[in-house]
Amino acid sequence: MDNVESSQSEHSQLGASALDKFSELGADVVEYVETETRRAPFKALSCAVVAGYLLRNLPVFALFGVFFRLALILVRPAALIFGGVKLCQLLADMNPPSQRAE
């Protein structure tokens, strides 16, 4: 049981450190964009206009919709498989295999 608790604490620590790294990376990206925008405002405005034009005229949101619907379709089987695997692990931990008499 201690192994399970230590494993869970390690996973939560890894998740927290990954989240910290991700937030630091996000802060660095925001700082970089702000610096470049102040340095070259016309270039930043041009990039924003081009990005807005592409988002408006390309079917980006339709593609996101397709991916979202596909993910929703695949969530149920994935959750069922994941639950089955966890149930098998739980049952295996509760009933260790009996040793054969030789």
pLDDT of residue 22: 85
Tokens 């399970």 belong to residue? 4
Least confident interval from 3-12, 22-31, 40-49, 65-74: 3-12
pLDDT of residue 59: 84
- Token pair belonging to 25: 């990376």
Of the pLDDT bands very low, low, confident and very high (cuts 50, 70, 90), residue 61 is confident
Residues 49, 73: Cα–Cα separation, whole Å: 35
Q: How many CB atoms lie within 10 A of CB 91?
A: 9
pLDDT of residue 83: 93
- Token pair belonging to 90: 């739980």
pLDDT of residue 69: 92
pLDDT of residue 8: 52
Burial pattern 37-58, b for ≥16 Cβ within 10 A else e, equals: eeeeeeeeeeeeeeeeeeeeee
Under 8 Å between Cβ of 36 and 44 = yes
